């Protein structure tokens, strides 16, 4: 089982690699969603997962949705950091 710091660090690296081009596409959103589903125990990722499900319902993440996902990623990173 990962420590909270290891969990935060892993998510930060995932987020950093996904945001190299400053946007989130559908494939990247699915990767983030999968990571959250695999690590949801003890964390409140459900709201974010539901948000991603909504954005992915049409199989495409538009510019507006990409911006919203990026903003939410910042919130998740802050949440993980605060729980260390």
This prediction's pTM: 0.87
CA atoms of 62 and 39, how far apart (whole Å): 26
Domain count, the chain: 1
Q: Which domain holds residue 23?
A: 4-82
CA–CA distance, 36 with 50 (Å, rounded to integer): 11
d(CA 38, CA 44): 12
45-83 pLDDT tens trace: 888 999 999 999 999 999 999 999 999 888 888 887 887
Query: Exposed (0-12), middle (13-18) or buried (19+): which is 29, by Cβ within 10 Å?
Result: buried
Could you report the per-residue pLDDT of 6-55, keeping only the tens digit for each?
888 999 999 999 999 999 999 999 999 999 999 887 777 888 999 999 99
């Amino acid at each position: 089982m990962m420590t909270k710091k290891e969990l935060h660090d892993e998510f930060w690296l995932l987020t950093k690699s996904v945001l190299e081009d400053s946007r989130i596409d559908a494939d990247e959103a699915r990767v983030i969603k999968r990571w959250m589903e695999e690590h949801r125990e003890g964390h409140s990722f459900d709201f974010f997962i539901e948000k991603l499900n909504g954005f992915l319902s049409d199989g495409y993440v538009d510019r507006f949705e990409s911006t919203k996902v990026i903003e939410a990623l910042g919130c998740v990173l802050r949440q993980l950091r605060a729980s260390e």
